[in-house]
Amino acid sequence: MHYEVYSKDMLSSTTRAFGSPLRYVQGQGEFGRLPLYTAPYGNACVIIDGFLYQDLNARLEKAYAESDAKFVSISFNGECCEEEVERIGKIARENGAAVIVGAGGGKTMDTAKICADEMGLPVIIAPSSASTDAPVSEIAVVYKPDGEYIGSRKMKKNADLVLVDTEIIVKAPRRLFVAGMGDALATWLEAQACECSDSPNYIGSGMRRCKAGMAIAKASWDILFEDGEKALMALDSGVVTEAFENVVEANTLLSGLGFLNTGLATAHGIHSGLTVLPETHKYLHGEKVAFGIVCQMVLENTPAETVDKVMRFMVAIGLPVTLADLGVAAEHDKVLAIAEKTANGPLIHQEPFAVTTERVYGAIIAADALGRKYKGL
């Protein structure tokens, strides 16, 4: 804790709340045990990422052949939009689906969440990488069929089961795993900012955090520093180790529960601000959040010891720490555009002090300089 606690009086209630998926299961080969998890509900409708369809569908054919449970699989068309939800809903109904499963990346998982929510069915989320903490949240991002962003949508409840197969995760691209560590690393820093400002979490329409939320956010931070580099070495060698399992849990479960139950602040605010520049669109969520972490530390004037620990870690695992790392030229107009979009958004105002566009501008410039220093540029 490095700033005085003071309330911005954002909450009128003292009620505290905690939310989460019903169950979380993580281990090697767990996807192949899907029939065990869907059988109690009835027929399963499994939506699979187009890129992974052949591989994952083959695993399911084998697994379901050895069981009495039944499934129908659908290759996801690539966009989380109303048309796709309708198409999948029709197939699910025709096959008497009693549970929806989403296996793959963020858009596949989000589509499964919406389909299940609309049909009033339970949902199982099986991520194919540990690149974000989205599997744990009940929030989905909706687009138009051509990919234009519409907005985010909150489901009535979190997943009934988040099923993480570390055998699949260890084969996903390295960059996705590193980005997941960026998303997870922000969790504890943002949780502390939200605690100090007594900002609402994401439970219901926003309530006060439970101690549980803070403890989980801190656990995610501790695991990354203890096991992050070891986990990356395991991934590079193509093997699952205890350290790798720990970081998958930190990126997915702990980071997800952490942010839902404690709130977000500058790191994610800067992420949203960066999206104003088209050159950042090809960078991953966790990569933009990573530069946001540097900005948050500058804005909060975090003690040097913590800054040093975080910067060394981020550089060591290859997370972006400069504007150039995100393809952005450090020019006045561009930095100002990021600062304006960030300051106009809600997240940065979860910090326990007043934030102006000028301060955000200054934080981005200073963060970029700090990142260059640690990269030896």
Footprint of Zn ion on this chain (CB under 5 A)? Answer: 183
Tell me if residue 143 falls in helix, strand or coil. strand
Q: Please say which residue, 137 or 302, places its beta carbon nearer to Zn ion.
A: 137
Least Å from the CB of residue 34 to Zn ion: 27
Short-list 116, 122, 125, 118, CA closest to 48: 125
Q: Which is it for strands 123-127 and 161-165: parallel, antiparallel or unpaired?
A: parallel
The CA-CA-CA angle for residues 361, 363, 369, to 5°, reads 110
Catalytic annotation, pick one of 271, 325, 349, 368:
271
Least Å from the CB of residue 290 to Zn ion: 10
Tell me if residue 17 falls in helix, strand or coil. strand
Verify whether residue 133 is a known catalytic residue.
Answer: no
Q: Which is it for strands 149-154 and 161-165: parallel, antiparallel or unpaired?
A: unpaired
CB burial of residue 338 (10 Å; 0-12, 13-18, 19+): buried
Type of residue numbered 296: Q
Least Å from the CB of residue 336 to Zn ion: 24
CA distance 170 to 231: 10
Return the structure tokens found at 355.
């934030």
Verify whether residue 2 is a known catalytic residue.
Answer: no
Q: Please say which residue, 122 or 258, places its beta carbon nearer to Zn ion.
A: 258
Catalytic annotation, pick one of 285, 325, 349, 368:
285
Return the structure tokens found at 278.
């088209």
Residue 210 DSSP label: P
Q: Which residues pair with 17 in a beta bridge?
A: 209
CA distance 323 to 295: 11
CA distance 209 to 221: 18
Helices vs. strands in the chain: H and E counts, helices first? 14, 10
CA torsion, ordered 276, 306, 215, 123, to nearest 10 deg: 30
Return the structure tokens found at 273.
């601000």
Cβ of 215: how many Cβ atoms within 10 Å?
15
Catalytic annotation, pick one of 268, 325, 349, 368:
268
Shortest Cβ contact with Zn ion: which residue? 183
Catalytic annotation, pick one of 49, 117, 183, 198:
183
Q: Which residues pair with 153 in a beta bridge?
A: 140
Verify whether residue 281 is a known catalytic residue.
Answer: no
Least Å from the CB of residue 271 to Zn ion: 7
Least Å from the CB of residue 355 to Zn ion: 19
Residues that are catalytic: 183, 268, 271, 285
